C-alpha cells in the first residue's frame, strides 16, 4: 500500500471538500500522479462523485495513471471500476484496466483515463462530475477546455444563471460556476506549452492566476542538497526532501579513475564539469556540441564501470545533441537513456548528466536559458547531478526570461551557475575530458 505524505493528505482533504476548478503545483518527485490517482479512488469509493475523468497529456502518462490505480485498487477492482479510453495503440495492454471507446462500456465505469488529444473519441453525452487533469503546465488553455466541456452541469447553469453572471470574470471562473469540478495538476516551472508566446499563459498559469491552489512540497526524488538547489532556483517557497531520502548519496562499487574522481565525486551531490566545447548549428533550430557529447559519453563509461547497477540519464535541450550522444553510446554499447528536457519530464534516474551545448563568445544561450528547461534538467536525479558545459557562458550569459507570473524577467542560467558554485555544488575543470 502507498502511504501519503502530509502534503498529499492535505490536498486530498481539500479537494474532496471543495468544488470548482483548483490547481495543485507538483514540483519534481512530489508524487503528482500518486496524488491524482489517490484522489480519483477516494472520490469514487467514498461516494463524492459518480464518475471521474483522469486526463493526461501523453499516452505514457495515462498509462502511468492506470498503473497507479491498479496498485491502489488491486487488479480486480481496477478492472471493474476503471477504463482506459482514447487511442488504442497508445494504451498499455499489460495492465489490468481494460481499453474501450464504446459508450456502453465507458458509461458503466467509474474512473475513465484518457489523453487530452483523444478526448474527442469520448462521446459528448458522457458527463463527469469530477476530473483530475495532469501535466497542465505543458497544456494551453484550449487543452483544458476540452475535458471541461464534459463536466458542464447544464441544469445547474440554467437554474443559477443570474448568480453565475454576477460572480464570473474569466474563463476559469466560468468553468467553476458551471458545475465543473476539476483538480488541475502541473508545474509551470517545469513545463510550458511548445510555441506559446512569451506573454501568454499556459493552462496551469491560467488556473493559478484565476483560482485557488496548493503546492506539494515534499519531494521523494531529490536528496536534500538538490531539493534545496531546485527550491531556490525555481523559487518554490519550501520544497524539501522527504526524510527517508534526504541524505541519499551515490555509492560506487569500485575506485573511480583519477581522471573522473572530481567529477563523479560521490560526496558531492551536484558537480559542474566545466568544459570549453564548440557549439554547432544543426537542423532548423537545433544545436550540438561534439566535445560535450564525447565528454558525457566518457563520464557514462566510467560510471557504468564504477556503479554498474545505477540508472543513468543524459538530459539536453537539443534533439541534435541527443542524437549525437545516442550514436556515440550505441557505438560503445553503453546503455544510458538520452532525453531532451521535454522528453525528460516525468522521468528520473540515479545519476543524471545535463549537457548544456551552448558556448559562444557572445554568451547567447537561447532556449537553454529558460526556467523550465533548466529546472527539468536539474531535478531528475536521485543521487548525483553532473552538469557538463561551459560554466562561464552560463554565468555571464545574456538570457533573460519570464518567471511564472510574467512580471519580472530573470537570468536563470546565471542564477543556476551562482547557486551551484556558491551554495550547493562544486565546479570542476574538466579539460582532461576533451581528449577522446
Partner 1 sequence: MNTGILDVRKTYNYLRKTQTHLVQSSEIATACVCQNLFKLDYPYGAIRSDKDYLIANTVHDIMSLCIGGPIIENWQYNSNDYENLTEKIVHDSYNIINEIINYTLDITNRENRSIQHDFKDRIDEIYHGLVTGICKRLMKKYDKPDRIITEITITNIKDHHEGRIDALLEYHHGYGILDWKTYDLNKTISGREKWQLIANNLLANYRYCQDEDDWNRYNFSCIVHNGGAYFPKLETIKKEVDKIKINRKFAFEVLCGKHVRAERPSFCPVCDKGMEGSKECLFYQIDSKLAHEGKLPAQYDKMTRQFFAKRYAILKERAETHLHKHVASTLIDQHGEEEALQRLERTGVICSGYFYDFDIEERVVMSRKDADFSLEPRRIVRIIGIEPKRPFLSCISEQASVMDVSNNKITLSFRSKVAVRRAKKQLFHLPIIMMRDELNLTRSMLRPIHQFHKLAADIFIPQELLPK
What letter does residue 257 receive in the DSSP assignment?
Answer: P
Question: What is the DSSP annotation of 348-414?
Answer: -EEEEEEE-----TT---GGGGSHHHHHHHHTSEEEEEEEEE-HHHHHT----EE-TTSSSEE-HHH
Backbone angles phi, psi at 338, to 5 degrees: -115, 125
Q: How far is the CB of 111 from partner 1 (least distance, A)?
A: 17
Task: Give the residue carrying C-alpha cell 554499447.
Answer: 333
Please, what is the minimum distance in Å from the beta carbon of residue 28 to partner 1? 23
Q: Considering the complex, what minimum distance in angstroms separates the CB of residue 150 from partner 1? A: 9
Q: Could you give the CA distance from residue 88 to residue 81 in angstroms, rounded to a whole number?
A: 19
Number of residues that bind partner 1 (CB under 8 A): 49
Cα-based distances in Å from 175 to 147, 213, 260: 11, 16, 55
Report the residue from 143, 221, 248, 310 that binds partner 1 according to the rule CB under 8 A. Answer: 143
Q: By CB under 8 A, which span of 8-16, 254-262, 314-322, 374-382 interacts with partner 1?
A: 314-322
Cβ contact 139:204 at 8 Å: yes
* Residue in 9, 76, 142, 257 binding partner 1, rule: CB under 8 A: 142
Nearest approach in angstroms of CB 112 to partner 1 is 13
In the window 145-164, what residues touch partner 1 (CB under 8 A)? 145-146, 148-149, 152, 157, 161, 164
Number of CB atoms found within 10 A of residue 157's CB? 14
Nearer to partner 1, 39 or 175 (CB): 175
Task: Give the total residue count for the chain.
Answer: 436
Q: Which is nearer to partner 1, 206 or 236 (CB)?
A: 206
For the CB of residue 315, give the shortest distance to partner 1 in the complex, in Å. 16
In the complex, least distance from residue 210 CB atom to partner 1, rounded to whole angstroms: 11
304 vs 323, which CB is nearer to partner 1? 323
**Beta carbons of 192 and 175 less than 8 angstroms apart:** no
Closest distance of CB 180 from partner 1, Å: 10
Minimum distance between the CB of residue 176 and partner 1, rounded to whole angstroms?
12
Alpha carbon distance 111, 123 (integer Å): 15
Q: Using an 8 Å Cβ cutoff, are 385 and 354 in contact?
A: yes
- 294: CB partners within 8 A, 6+ apart: 328, 433, 436
Grid look-up 547567447 returns: 364
Q: Is residue 288 left, alpha or beta, with left meaning phi > 0 and alpha meaning psi from -120 to 50? A: beta
Smallest gap, in angstroms, from Cβ of residue 169 to partner 1? Answer: 6
Residue 327 or 423: the one with the smaller Cβ distance to partner 1 is 327
Q: In the complex with partner 1, which residue's Cβ is closer, 318 or 354?
A: 318
Of 52, 133, 138, 141, the residue at the interface with partner 1 (CB under 8 A) is 141
Question: Residues 54 to 113: which contact partner 1 by CB under 8 A?
Answer: 88, 98-105
Contacts of 268 (CB under 8 A, 6+ apart): 425, 426
Cβ count within 10 A of residue 168: 15
Q: Name the one range near partner 1 by CB under 8 A: 31-39, 166-174, 237-245, 268-276.
A: 166-174
Site residues (CB under 8 A) for partner 1, limited to 194-213 = 195, 197, 200
Residue 199 or 407 having the CB closest to partner 1: 199
Question: Restricting to residues 234-293, which ones interact with partner 1 according to CB under 8 A?
Answer: 281-286
Exposed / middle / buried, residue 196 (Cβ in 10 Å: 0-12, 13-18, 19+): middle
Tell me: does residue 171 bind partner 1 (CB under 8 A): yes
| Sites of contact with partner 1 (CB under 8 A) | 88, 98-105, 117, 119-120, 124, 140-143, 145-146, 148-149, 152, 157, 161, 164-165, 168-171, 174-175, 177-178, 195, 197, 200, 281-286, 319-320, 322-323, 327, 330
Amino acid at each position: 500500500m502507498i502511504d501519503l505524505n502530509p502534503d498529499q493528505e492535505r490536498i486530498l482533504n481539500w479537494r474532496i471538500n471543495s468544488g470548482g476548478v483548483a490547481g495543485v503545483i507538483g514540483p519534481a518527485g512530489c508524487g503528482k500522479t500518486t496524488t491524482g490517482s489517490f484522489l480519483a479512488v477516494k472520490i469514487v469509493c467514498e461516494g463524492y462523485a459518480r464518475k471521474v475523468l483522469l486526463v493526461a497529456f501523453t499516452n505514457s502518462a495515462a498509462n502511468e495513471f492506470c498503473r497507479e490505480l491498479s496498485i491502489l485498487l488491486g487488479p480486480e477492482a481496477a478492472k471493474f471500476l476503471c477504463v482506459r479510453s482514447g487511442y488504442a495503440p497508445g494504451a498499455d495492454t499489460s495492465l489490468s484496466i481494460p481499453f474501450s471507446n464504446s459508450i456502453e462500456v465507458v458509461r458503466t465505469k467509474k474512473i475513465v483515463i484518457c489523453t487530452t488529444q483523444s478526448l474527442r473519441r469520448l462521446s459528448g453525452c458522457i458527463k463527469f462530475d469530477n476530473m483530475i487533469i495532469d501535466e497542465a503546465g505543458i497544456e494551453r488553455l484550449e487543452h483544458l477546455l476540452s475535458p471541461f466541456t464534459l463536466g458542464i452541469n447544464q441544469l445547474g447553469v440554467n437554474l443559477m444563471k443570474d448568480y453565475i453572471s454576477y460572480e464570473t470574470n474569466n474563463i476559469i471562473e466560468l468553468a467553476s460556476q458551471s458545475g465543473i469540478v476539476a483538480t488541475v495538476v502541473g508545474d509551470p516551472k517545469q513545463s510550458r506549452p511548445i510555441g506559446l508566446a512569451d506573454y501568454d499563459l499556459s493552462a496551469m498559469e491560467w488556473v493559478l492566476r484565476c483560482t485557488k491552489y496548493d503546492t506539494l512540497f515534499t519531494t521523494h526524488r531529490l536528496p536534500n542538497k538538490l531539493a534545496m538547489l531546485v527550491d531556490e532556483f525555481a523559487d518554490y517557497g519550501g520544497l524539501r526532501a522527504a526524510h527517508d531520502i534526504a541524505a541519499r548519496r551515490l555509492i560506487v562499487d569500485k575506485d573511480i579513475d583519477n581522471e573522473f574522481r572530481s567529477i563523479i565525486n560521490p560526496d558531492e551531490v551536484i558537480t559542474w564539469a566545466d568544459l570549453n566545447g564548440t557549439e554547432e548549428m544543426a537542423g532548423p533550430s537545433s544545436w550540438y556540441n561534439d566535445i560535450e557529447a564525447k565528454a558525457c559519453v566518457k563520464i557514462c563509461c566510467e560510471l557504468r564501470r564504477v556503479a554498474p547497477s545505477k540508472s543513468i540519464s543524459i538530459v539536453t535541450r537539443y534533439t541534435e545533441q541527443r542524437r549525437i550522444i545516442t550514436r556515440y553510446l550505441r557505438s560503445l554499447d553503453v546503455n544510458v537513456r538520452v532525453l531532451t528536457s521535454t522528453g525528460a519530464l516525468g522521468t528520473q534516474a540515479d545519476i543524471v548528466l545535463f549537457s548544456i551545448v551552448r558556448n559562444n563568445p557572445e554568451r547567447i544561450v537561447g532556449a537553454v536559458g529558460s526556467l523550465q528547461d533548466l529546472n527539468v534538467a536539474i531535478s531528475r536525479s536521485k543521487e548525483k547531478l553532473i552538469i557538463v558545459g561551459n560554466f562561464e557562458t552560463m554565468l555571464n550569459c545574456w538570457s533573460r526570461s519570464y518567471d511564472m507570473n510574467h512580471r519580472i524577467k530573470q537570468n536563470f542560467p546565471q542564477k543556476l551557475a551562482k547557486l551551484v558554485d556558491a551554495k550547493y555544488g562544486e565546479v570542476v575543470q574538466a579539460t582532461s575530458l576533451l581528449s577522446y
